[in-house]
A and B are shown apart, each in its own frame.
Chain A
Amino acid sequence: EAQVTQNPRYLITVTGKKLTVTCSQNMNHEYMSWYRQDPGLGLRQIYYSMNVEVTDKGDVPEGYKVSRKEKRNFPLILESPSPNQTSLYFCASKRIDSNQPQHFGDGTRLSIL
């Protein structure tokens, strides 16, 4: 089954404790992206990757890091989480062709206390 898998699905942690949210896709997609979803703001792009070892900032990259060492994986790293990063996070992937849609994971709800 074609899917984007995120882990963990839920996490409650404390300010300053480094955490990583993993994202893996099994569709051999070149393009992967991280979004955060906040009430009234919709989904906003954090980082994206056009292919292995190629990453770039989205609209709200502050406080986040990513890496793309393998085509299937695109982890999101919060080195020193703060309460304003409490949000619902989604990973997505797509073929690089412009007319292909993005496929989303089921989300990771992060609470930073």
Chain B
Amino acid sequence: QKEVEQDPGPLSVPEGAIVSLNCTYSNSAFQYFMWYRQYSRKGPELLMYTYSSGNKEDGRFTAQVDKSSKYISLFIRDSQPSDSATYLCAMSVEGNKLVFGAGTILRVKS
């Protein structure tokens, strides 16, 4: 079993939809949780960074961490075609070594 599980998709939604992306994990020692966005032929760029449990909001993006369920989510409101990318969840125990999910491909249709 992988340490971090993420549905690879692809997930296809119409423009303006609310998108929900999720990851589950098995290591209860993870305490740093991140979401990265990766466009084709580019490196991952950090979208959201959360320490421990709770919610964090930044514009159209909301990250949620539920440590009791070992489950994290990223919500994208009013999705745009420019949001089409691969979304990677990543986690860390001590803040330096990252463990990544496989990534979810998102396509937002105009």
A interface with B by C-beta (< 8 Å): 4, 31, 33, 35, 40-45, 48, 50, 58, 90, 92, 94, 96-107
A96-B96, A98-B94 known; A41 vs B102 contact (CB < 8 Å)? yes
Assess whether B41 is in contact with A45, with CB atoms less than 8 Å apart.
no
Assess whether B103 is in contact with A42, with CB atoms less than 8 Å apart.
yes
Closest 10 CB pairs of A and B: A98-B95, A104-B43, A42-B100, A42-B102, A43-B100, A101-B46, A106-B43, A104-B44, A105-B43, A106-B42
Interface size classification for chain B: 20 to 34
- When C-beta atoms are compared, the residue in chain A nearest to B90 turns out to be A43
Assess whether B96 is in contact with A99, with CB atoms less than 8 Å apart.
no
Chain B residues whose CB sits within 8 angstroms of the CB of A90 once the complex forms: 43-44
State the Cβ distance, A95 to closest chain B Cβ, in Å: 10
- When C-beta atoms are compared, the residue in chain B nearest to A43 turns out to be B100
Assess whether A101 is in contact with B49, with CB atoms less than 8 Å apart.
yes
CA separation between A109 and B8, bound complex, in Å? 21
Which residues, 1 to 56 on B, are CB-close (under 8 Å) to A? 4, 6, 8, 32, 34, 36, 41-46, 49, 51
A40-B102, A105-B43, A107-B41 known; A99 vs B51 contact (CB < 8 Å)? yes
CB contact between A101 and one of B34, B42, B97 (< 8 Å): that residue? B34
Does B98 make an interface contact (CB < 8 A)? yes
Does B88 make an interface contact (CB < 8 A)? yes
- When C-beta atoms are compared, the residue in chain B nearest to A40 turns out to be B102
Chain A residues whose CB sits within 8 angstroms of the CB of B34 once the complex forms: 101
16 contacts between A and B (CB under 8 A): A33-B97, A40-B102, A42-B103, A43-B44, A43-B88, A45-B98, A92-B43, A97-B95, A98-B92, A101-B46, A103-B46, A104-B36, A105-B43, A106-B41, A106-B42, A107-B43
- When C-beta atoms are compared, the residue in chain B nearest to A56 turns out to be B97
Assess whether A99 is in contact with B95, with CB atoms less than 8 Å apart.
yes
Chain A residues whose CB sits within 8 angstroms of the CB of B97 once the complex forms: 33, 45, 48, 58
- When C-beta atoms are compared, the residue in chain A nearest to B43 turns out to be A104
- When C-beta atoms are compared, the residue in chain B nearest to A100 turns out to be B95
Assess whether B6 is in contact with A42, with CB atoms less than 8 Å apart.
yes
